[in-house]
Amino acid sequence: MITLTKKLFNNPKLKELADLLIHILIFVNIIVLCLETFDELSAYDSFFEKMEDVSVVIFMVEYFARIITAAYEGRFKKYVFSPLGLVDLISILPFELIFGVGIDSRAVKTFRMFRLFSLFKLYRYSAHLKTIFDVIYERRGDLIATFFSIFVILLFCSYMMYYLEHDVQPHKLRNIFDALWWGVSTLGTIGYGDVYPITSGGKIIAAILTLVGIGLVAIPSAILSAGFNEMNNKRKNKNQSTNV
């Protein structure tokens, strides 16, 4: 088995053929997932299920082949806990749950939404798409700190909004989760209009969150932009050094 997997991943022609098959299966899965939403096509549900079963089995074979190869090369944990390794696992998770455990048929469609994760498998086959993962991983510390700061401000303003507005509009701000929904829509400058402040204090909190949110939401974009520039500069320097 190890020999076969090594031949697959090391042979350019076999690898290209396997990658093409995975690409086709991913797109077929997404197309089937979309077609299942049409009530007019309910007569084809059994066909759609068979298509899913075949593709997930192939995804399972690919996943375990990668695990065996990674274990042989001494990078088992690195692959299993990597972002793409987790995507591979989640892509076959519905199949394991449905066939490994007696799950009610009503839950089957819920688990099928995991097929959307197969789209992320495409990031493995494109160097440009993989760059996104690399940049996020390299800048993870800055991003975590930024999102944590956003969450703290969001939670503070949402709680203040609940405290100031709950008594005057209890039907709209029933609990902190309603206030958080208001906070998210305000922070994202969406403003659906289903919840809005009435009191003077609530309006002040809304203004503060809006003004602070504009700056905070822009920070992750700046971090990622700097990360992409740094990654591109590293690639240029590497190409120049190899060409010398």
Quote the pLDDT of residue 168: 92
Whether residue 164 has pLDDT greater than 90: yes
Mean pLDDT over the full length of the chain: 79
For residues 7 and 91, membership in a common domain is answered with yes
Same domain, 232 and 205: yes
Which percentage of the chain shows pLDDT scores above 90?
17
Domain ranges, residue 148: 140-243
Which DSSP letter does residue 74 get?
T
Residue 148 shares a structural domain with residue 112: no
Predicted local distance difference test score (pLDDT) of residue 127: 67
Q: How far apart are CA 98 and CA 77, in angstroms?
A: 26
Burial class (CB in 10 A: 0-12, 13-18, 19+), 94: buried
- Region 6-31: what's the mean pLDDT? 74
> For 45-70, what is each residue's pLDDT tens digit?
888 878 877 887 888 888 888 888 88
- Between CA 118 and CA 234 the distance in angstroms is 30
- How many other β-carbons are positioned within 10 Å of the β-carbon of residue 71? 14
Q: Are 151 and 217 in contact (CB under 8 A)?
A: no
Q: What is the token pair recorded at 101?
A: 């455990």
| Among candidate residues 123, 158, 183, the one where a domain is terminated | 123
* pLDDT score of 88 more than 60: yes
pLDDT at 224 over 80: yes
Q: Taking a C-beta distance cutoff of 8 angstroms, is the pair 88, 62 a contact?
A: yes
Q: Please check whether residues 175 and 100 belong to one and the same domain.
A: no
The confidence score (pLDDT) of residue 115 equals 66
**Residue that finishes a domain, picked among 98, 123, 148:** 123
Q: Is residue 100's pLDDT more than 70?
A: no
In a domain, 134, yes or no: no
For the question of whether the overall pTM of this predicted structure is more than 0.75, the answer is no
Radius of gyration of the chain (CA): 24
Same domain flag for 16 and 114:
yes
Residue range 105-152, pLDDT digits in tens: 455 555 566 666 677 777 776 666 778 878 888 888 899 999 998 899
* CATH number for the domain that contains residue 37: 1.20.120.350
Give CA angle at 73 (71, 76), nearest 5°: 35
Domain count, the chain: 2
Residues 101 and 165 occupy one common structural domain: no
Is residue 244 very low, low, confident or very high in pLDDT (cuts 50, 70, 90)? low
Whether the per-residue pLDDT at 239 is higher than 80: the answer is no
Taking the C-alpha atoms of residue 70 and residue 65, their distance in angstroms, rounded to an integer, is 8
Of the three residues 89, 123, 157, the one that is the final residue of a domain is 123
Is there a single domain that holds both residue 118 and residue 54? Answer: yes
3-state SS assignment for residue 24: helix
One domain for residues 220 and 110: no
